[in-house]
Structure 1
Amino acid sequence: MTDREAFLAGDRPDDVAVFLHEAAVSNPEALESYAESVEDGVVLVLPGEDGRSAFQSATDIDPMALAQEAMDTEGHIDDDLTGGTCPVAADDHDEDHTVRFVFAFAEAQNEDVGGLYAEGDVIHAYAVCACGERYSEKWVADTVDRQ
């Protein structure tokens, strides 16, 4: 099981996952020894503070500010964290809507909160699109059939 698979299964709740599209970083090859190479970039799974710092260093975006900005705009983020569907893409066919960055963390199951949180650990994912849109999605960890 890869680090990313363990994270998505809810087995690494203290870590964060970061996707960096190859077009959004100047030297993605430099990250390959620390990251999992994927079709369009790399995914890093790192301890919480290290991951937040790495995301900010690579993107110049504060991950907690991203979460605040993106949480009110719902979109679709791929189950493997390597892409998504920008919520403005359906209305804007002229612009590039490739996901440039994804930042994700897990929150432990909390039956007292109810809803999604009562069902299991919850993955919170935040994406930055090439068009500038920032959006989010959350789902129960290790749930493939989410809609």
Structure 2
Amino acid sequence: MSTPREAFLAGERPDDVALFLADSYVSDERLERFGNPVDGGVLIVVDGDRGRSAFEAATGTGAMEFAKSAMSLEGIVDPDLAGGSCPDASDGDDHEPQFIFAFAEEENEGVGGIYAEGDVIHAYAKCRCGTAYSDRWNVTDS
């Protein structure tokens, strides 16, 4: 039996969202009741509406507004959604994601590109330095 996180990353929960909140960003141990502790934070997988509300409550930013702002800059979000590589990391500062918002999109051959190759994970991260960036991949790639 897979965990909610494993099912999400396999594209089996397209109506859900995943949230990673770094320990350095949110220090509320109650969050572990809703998700799984991971290295550096907690990862929560919940239905889309609750997840977007939880994201806004934790970050003060609307989930879709954040995603829209982050999609203009590509970076690397780790396939386990618990880390990433900020595209501005060359300055030597600490570049750890403070939070990550992700959702899955089902395969759509009509759109083409990676969407025709299978389900796609969309991930949006906010770095400690303030940079917001995005990444996406087919679930078969992760």
TM-score (ref. length: structure 1): 0.93
Q: Percent identity?
A: 55
| Cα distance in 1, alignment partners of residues 27 and 37 from structure 2 | 15
Q: Whose helix fraction is larger, Structure 1's or Structure 2's?
A: 2
**Residue type matched to 1:106 in 2?**
A
What SS does the corresponding residue of 1:32 show, helix, strand or coil? helix
Please, which of 121, 135, 142 is the counterpart of residue 119 of structure 2? Answer: 121
What SS does the corresponding residue of 2:49 show, helix, strand or coil? helix
Partner of 2:5: 4
RMSD between superposed Cα atoms in Å: 0.8
| Cα distance in 2, alignment partners of residues 45 and 79 from structure 1 | 15
**Residue type matched to 1:31 in 2?**
L
Partner of 2:19: 18
| Cα distance in 2, alignment partners of residues 120 and 49 from structure 1 | 24
Which contiguous aligned blocks of 4+ residues in structure 1 show a shift greater than 4 angstroms? none
Residues 71, 126 of structure 1: 8 Å contact kept = yes
Partner of 1:110: 108
Deviations 1:8-54 (A, max 9, x none): 00000000000000010131x11111111111110000000100000
Q: Shift of the alpha carbon at 1:142?
A: 3.7
Higher mean C-alpha deviation, range 10-19 or range 57-66: 57-66
Partner of 2:84: 84
What SS does the corresponding residue of 1:81 show, helix, strand or coil? coil
Partner of 2:99: 101
Residues 8, 142 of structure 1: 8 Å contact kept = no
TM-score (ref. length: structure 2): 0.96
Q: Gapped runs of 5+ residues in structure 1?
A: none
**Residue type matched to 1:122 in 2?**
V
Residues 120, 136 of structure 2: 8 Å contact kept = yes
